[in-house]
C-alpha cells in the first residue's frame, strides 16, 4: 500500500455560467474540484488550507474512517471548522474499500461548489468483478445558482420559507450546450466498439436526478463503492450523496448523443425543472451530423425511480459477500419529515418557519464538536436520549396531526461497540410527503426492506432481503413510504446521519450516533491529531 499526498487550497475563484459571473469557493480554483485517486488499503493524507473568508471543513463521503473519526469532516460533529488562514491534515486509510466516492465541504452551503470525486481502484493485480472497461471517466452532477448560495440560504432562514431552486443543473461543471451563453458543455469522446465506465456522482444540493444517454443502454455495476449484480437500464436514479458506476459500450453508429441529468421529484413543493446536458461524441463524427436527443423522464416518474431502486442487489459473491447482520440488538424506527415551528420574526411566513426533524427532534448544532466533547468528556454539549422510536406514533403517511411543531435538542443515540442495528426510516406527510436521501457517516448499511405507506413491524420484516440487499451509505426514503437498513456498529466515534438534501439538513433533519469504544485491541478511536482545529 502507498501513502497518497494531496494539497487542497480552498480559494475563491470568479466563475461564469448562464451569462453571468460570480466568485465561488473552490478547491485549487476548480469546479468541480480535483479527483482524489488511490487504491484499496492506501493511506491518504490531504492538507486542507483555508484561504477564504468562511470557516471550512471537508467530508470524505462514504470513506469508513475506521477509528479515524477525527478525519470525517462534518463541522461541529467530528471537528471544529478550519478557520480562515488555518489548515488541517486529514489522514485516513481506505481499509477494504474500493470504488467511487466523493468529497465535499461539510459546513454552510459551501458544498455547492466545493466537491470532487474519490476514485479508489482495487488493490494492484485485483480485477474488477466484471469485464474491464477500455476507459473510465468521472461525471459529477451538480447545481448552479446565479446568485450567492450562502445569501440564498440565509435569506430563506430569515423568511422561514423554502430557498430558491437552482438556475441550472451541471455535468462536470457545465449546464450544457442547450443552456444560455453555453460554451458547449462537457463532451466525452468515445471510440466506436470500446467500453467506458462512467463514475457518476450526485453532488447537487437539493435534487435527486435521473441520468440518461440517448440511444445507449447503461449497465450498473457499483453503487456507493460497493459492487452490485450487474443489470441493464436506460435510466439511472441517483440521489444527492450517492455514486453509481455504469458501463456503456460505444456500440451505436458514429455521432453525437446527448447525456441528460434531470430532476426526480414527486413532491409538490419547490419544483425544479432544470436539465443539464452533455455530449457523448464518437470519433470520426462529421460536424454536420445532428445530435441524437433523448426525452427525460417526467419530474414525478415514480415508477421509473422504483424500477431502478428495485433492481439493485449486492453482488454477494464469494470474494465480495454481503455480510448482513442477522441478529438485531437495536430495533429503531425513525420518522423523517418536515414540520412547522413558531417564528415571530419570520416574514412573510406569518410567524412560522419550516423545520425538519427525526422522531420529532429538530437537531440543534452544538458550538463544540461532538466527537471532542465525547472523547474529552466535556459536559453540557449533547445528551444521549435521542428517541429510538417516535415519541407519539400517528398515521405517518395519513392526514397531518394538528400540532406540527417539533422539539429541538442536540441528542445522540448511543450504541455499544459491535452491536447491530436495524433502522426503519419512515417518511411523514406532515407538510407533504417527500423523498429523503438519508446518509449515514462512518458505516455502510444494507437496505433490507422498502415499502409504501406506514411500516408494519408485524408483517414487513417477513419480506426483508437478508441475502443480497444492496449495501450503501446513502438511501432514498421513498415519498410516503419507508426503508429498513441494517448495520454493525463496528466503528467507535460520533457519526452524523442526515438528509442529503441540503435544505432539509439546514432545517434540522439530522442526528448522530455515538458508538462507544470496544474493550479489545484496535477497538478504540485513535488519539486526536495534534493539529485538530479548535472551536
Segment near ligand C2O (CB under 6 A); pick from 285-293, 374-382, 492-500, 518-526: 492-500
110 or 179: whose CB is closer to ligand C2O? 110
* Smallest separation, CB 436 to ligand C2O (Å): 13
Chosen residue from 174, 216, 353, 441 binding ligand C2O by CB under 6 A: 441
Cβ-contact 334, 387 below 8 angstroms? no
Is there binding between residue 472 and ligand C2O (CB under 6 A)?
A: no
The C-alpha atoms of residue 400 and residue 449 are separated, in whole angstroms, by 25
Segment near ligand C2O (CB under 6 A); pick from 155-163, 252-260, 446-454, 493-501: 493-501
61 or 450: whose CB is closer to ligand C2O? 61
* Smallest separation, CB 248 to ligand C2O (Å): 26
Chosen residue from 67, 98, 104, 169 binding ligand C2O by CB under 6 A: 104
The string of DSSP letters for 212-259 reads EETT--EEEEEETTEEEEEEEES-EEE-TT-EEEEEEE--SPSSEEEE
Q: Put residue 466 in one of left, alpha, beta given phi > 0 → left and psi -120 to 50 → alpha.
A: alpha
* Smallest separation, CB 473 to ligand C2O (Å): 8
Buried b (16+ CB within 10 A) or exposed e, 451-465: beebbeeeebbeebb
174 or 500: whose CB is closer to ligand C2O? 500
Chosen residue from 308, 386, 455, 496 binding ligand C2O by CB under 6 A: 496
* Smallest separation, CB 66 to ligand C2O (Å): 17
* Smallest separation, CB 100 to ligand C2O (Å): 13
Is there binding between residue 498 and ligand C2O (CB under 6 A)?
A: yes
176 or 240: whose CB is closer to ligand C2O? 240
* Smallest separation, CB 508 to ligand C2O (Å): 14
Chosen residue from 33, 69, 74, 325 binding ligand C2O by CB under 6 A: 74
**Residue 28 burial by Cβ neighbours in a 10 Å radius (0-12, 13-18, 19+):** middle
- Residue 503 has a CB neighbour count (10 Å cut-off) of 21
* Helix, strand, or coil (residue 477): strand
Cβ-contact 248, 213 below 8 angstroms? yes
* Helix, strand, or coil (residue 505): helix
Is there binding between residue 439 and ligand C2O (CB under 6 A)?
A: yes
Closest CB to ligand C2O: residue number = 61
Among residues 362, 369, 405, 399, the alpha carbon closest in space to that of 504 is found at: 362
Residue written as grid cell 418557519: 353
Instruction: Tell which positions 52-71 bind ligand C2O, by CB under 6 A.
Output: 59, 61
Chosen residue from 32, 175, 241, 325 binding ligand C2O by CB under 6 A: 241
Among residues 88, 107, 119, the alpha carbon closest in space to that of 25 is found at: 107
Buried b (16+ CB within 10 A) or exposed e, 72-83: bbbbbbbbbbbe
Beta strands in 51-176 (DSSP E): 58-61, 87-93, 99-105, 115-121, 135-144, 168-171
Is there binding between residue 325 and ligand C2O (CB under 6 A)?
A: no
103 or 396: whose CB is closer to ligand C2O? 103
174 or 439: whose CB is closer to ligand C2O? 439
* Smallest separation, CB 61 to ligand C2O (Å): 4
* Smallest separation, CB 266 to ligand C2O (Å): 23
The C-alpha atoms of residue 132 and residue 194 are separated, in whole angstroms, by 11
* Smallest separation, CB 366 to ligand C2O (Å): 15
Chosen residue from 17, 67, 106, 374 binding ligand C2O by CB under 6 A: 106
The C-alpha atoms of residue 502 and residue 251 are separated, in whole angstroms, by 38
Cα-Cα end-to-end distance for the chain: 35
Total site size for ligand C2O, rule CB under 6 A:
11
Is there binding between residue 115 and ligand C2O (CB under 6 A)?
A: no
Task: Find all residues with CB under 8 Å of 211, minimum gap 6, and list them.
Answer: 141, 200, 218, 235, 236, 238, 244, 259, 260, 261
Segment near ligand C2O (CB under 6 A); pick from 37-45, 138-146, 251-259, 496-504: 496-504
* Smallest separation, CB 197 to ligand C2O (Å): 22
Residues that bind ligand C2O (CB under 6 A): 59, 61, 74, 104, 106, 241, 439, 441, 496, 498, 500
Amino acid at each position: 500500500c502507498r501513502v497518497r499526498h494531496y494539497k487542497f487550497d480552498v480559494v475563491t475563484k470568479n466563475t461564469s455560467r448562464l451569462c453571468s459571473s460570480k466568485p465561488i469557493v473552490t478547491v485549487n480554483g476548480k469546479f468541480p474540484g480535483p479527483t482524489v485517486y488511490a487504491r484499496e488499503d492506501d493511506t491518504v493524507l490531504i492538507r486542507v488550507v483555508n484561504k477564504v473568508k468562511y470557516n471550512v471543513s471537508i467530508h470524505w463521503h462514504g470513506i469508513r474512517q475506521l477509528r479515524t473519526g477525527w478525519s470525517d469532516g462534518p463541522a461541529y460533529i467530528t471537528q471544529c471548522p478550519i478557520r480562515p488562514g488555518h489548515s488541517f491534515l486529514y489522514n485516513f486509510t481506505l481499509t477494504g474499500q474500493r470504488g467511487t466516492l466523493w468529497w465535499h465541504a461539510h459546513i454552510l452551503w459551501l458544498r455547492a461548489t466545493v466537491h470532487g470525486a474519490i476514485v479508489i481502484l482495487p488493490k494492484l493485480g485485483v480485477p474488477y468483478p466484471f469485464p474491464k472497461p477500455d476507459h473510465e471517466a468521472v461525471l459529477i452532477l451538480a447545481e448552479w445558482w446565479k446568485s450567492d448560495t450562502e445569501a440564498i440560504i440565509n435569506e430563506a432562514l430569515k423568511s422561514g420559507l423554502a430557498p430558491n431552486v437552482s438556475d441550472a443543473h451541471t455535468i462536470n461543471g457545465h449546464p450544457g450546450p442547450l443552456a444560455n451563453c453555453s460554451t458547449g458543455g462537457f463532451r466525452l469522446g468515445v471510440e466506436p466498439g470500446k467500453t467506458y465506465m462512467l463514475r457518476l456522482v450526485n453532488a447537487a444540493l437539493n435534487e435527486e436526478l435521473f441520468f440518461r444517454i440517448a440511444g445507449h443502454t447503461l449497465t450498473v455495476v457499483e453503487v456507493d463503492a460497493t459492487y452490485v449484480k450487474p443489470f441493464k437500464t436506460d435510466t439511472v436514479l441517483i440521489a444527492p450523496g450517492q455514486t453509481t458506476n455504469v458501463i456503456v459500450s460505444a456500440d451505436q453508429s458514429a455521432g453525437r448523443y446527448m447525456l441528460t441529468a434531470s430532476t426526480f421529484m414527486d413532491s409538490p413543493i419547490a419544483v425544479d425543472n432544470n436539465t443539464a446536458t452533455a455530449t457523448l461524441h464518437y470519433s470520426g463524427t462529421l460536424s454536420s451530423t445532428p445530435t441524437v436527443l433523448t426525452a427525460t423522464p417526467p419530474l414525478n416518474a415514480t415508477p421509473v425511480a422504483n424500477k431502478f431502486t428495485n433492481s439493485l442487489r449486492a453482488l454477494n459473491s464469494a470474494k465480495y459477500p454481503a455480510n448482513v447482520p442477522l441478529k438485531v440488538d437495536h430495533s429503531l424506527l425513525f420518522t423523517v419529515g418536515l414540520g412547522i415551528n413558531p417564528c415571530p420574526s419570520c416574514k412573510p411566513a406569518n410567524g412560522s418557519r419550516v423545520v425538519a426533524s427525526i422522531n420529532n427532534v429538530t437537531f440543534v448544532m452544538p458550538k463544540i464538536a461532538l466527537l471532542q466533547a465525547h472523547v474529552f468528556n466535556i459536559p453540557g454539549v449533547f445528551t444521549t436520549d435521542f428517541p429510538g422510536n417516535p415519541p407519539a406514533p400517528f398515521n405517518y403517511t395519513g392526514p397531518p396531526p394538528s400540532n406540527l411543531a417539533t422539539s429541538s435538542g442536540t441528542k445522540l443515540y448511543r450504541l455499544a461497540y459491535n452491536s447491530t442495528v436495524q433502522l426503519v426510516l419512515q417518511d411523514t406527510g406532515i407538510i407533504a410527503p417527500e423523498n429523503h436521501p438519508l446518509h449515514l457517516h462512518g458505516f455502510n448499511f444494507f437496505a433490507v426492506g422498502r415499502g409504501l405507506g406506514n411500516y408494519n413491524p408485524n408483517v414487513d420484516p417477513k419480506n426483508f432481503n437478508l441475502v443480497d440487499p444492496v449495501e450503501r451509505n446513502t438511501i432514498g426514503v421513498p415519498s410516503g413510504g419507508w426503508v429498513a437498513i441494517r448495520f454493525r456498529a463496528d466503528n467507535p466515534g460520533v457519526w452524523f446521519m442526515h438528509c442529503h438534501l441540503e435544505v432539509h439538513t439546514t432545517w434540522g433533519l439530522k442526528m448522530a450516533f455515538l458508538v462507544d469504544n470496544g474493550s479489545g485491541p484496535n477497538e478504540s478511536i485513535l488519539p486526536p491529531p495534534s493539529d485538530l482545529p479548535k472551536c
